[in-house]
Amino acid sequence: MTSTLRNPVTEQDHSTGNPHAEMILVEYGDYQCPHCGIAHPFIKKLLKEFKGEFRFIFRNFPLQESHPMAMMAALASEAAGKQSKFWEMHDIIFEHQRSLSPDAILHFADKLKLNETQFEKDLRNKELLEKVEDDMEGGLRSGVNGTPTFFLNGKKVNSYDESYDSLAALFR
């Protein structure tokens, strides 16, 4: 089976860290997946410890049948992205992963001082839905079989074992 990223990183991707770094770490994640919740602080720590050394991309992979709030959370991050607050929404969702609800998401938008009318409109924006579905399709084509799945410079990371060290080892 292939273990390479089929759809290359583009400007459409949500990216943080050093935009010019040679190392690019891509995560396929689901906001309601507890394993992604475990990985979230690891990524934050990596971005600090290896500051400037890599670029981090997050792509949505919402497993909707298992996680009823996953799609709405994915759309919320994309909608916040429209107001340049993708990563702020990304963080707040993961930090409150266990209490996600439509109300909670509207509350996050309020906390991030997003334009509420626009945000609610974007939650129903077809283009954003297609973007999430495209992310998902690209992940499926690349052999993502669960979340989180990481790719470093296009190659699937098989060494991650839910520990910070297993991720940090990629950069040491």
Partner 1 sequence: MILQKGTIAPDFELYTTPDQKLKLSDFKGKRLILAFYPADWSPVCSDQMSLYNETLRLFHKYNAEILGISVDSKWCHMAFEENRNLHFPLLADFEPKGEVSRRYGAYDEETGESLRALFVIDEKGIIRWSHLSPDSVNPGADGILDALEEMDKTK
Residues making contact with partner 1 (CB under 8 A): 1-2, 63-66, 133, 136-137, 140-146
Question: Please, which residue, 65 or 161, has the CB nearer to partner 1?
Answer: 65
Least distance (Å) between residue 160 CB and partner 1: 15
- Distance separating alpha carbons of residues 22 and 159, to the nearest angstrom: 20
* Pair type for strands 23-29 and 54-60: parallel
Question: Please, which residue, 53 or 133, has the CB nearer to partner 1?
Answer: 133
Least distance (Å) between residue 66 CB and partner 1: 5
Q: What are residue 14's DSSP bridge partners?
A: 58
Question: Please, which residue, 120 or 133, has the CB nearer to partner 1?
Answer: 133
Continuous H helices in the chain? 34-49, 70-82, 86-95, 102-111, 116-123, 126-141, 164-168
The residues, any chain, with a CB within 8 Å of residue 125's CB and separated by 6 or more, are: 75, 79, 82
Least distance (Å) between residue 133 CB and partner 1: 8
Least distance (Å) between residue 142 CB and partner 1: 6
Least distance (Å) between residue 69 CB and partner 1: 14
The residues, any chain, with a CB within 8 Å of residue 145's CB and separated by 6 or more, are: none
- Distance separating alpha carbons of residues 63 and 79, to the nearest angstrom: 19
Residue type, 43: I
Question: Please, which residue, 35 or 44, has the CB nearer to partner 1?
Answer: 35
Question: Please, which residue, 22 or 65, has the CB nearer to partner 1?
Answer: 65
How many Å is the Cα radius of gyration of the chain?
15
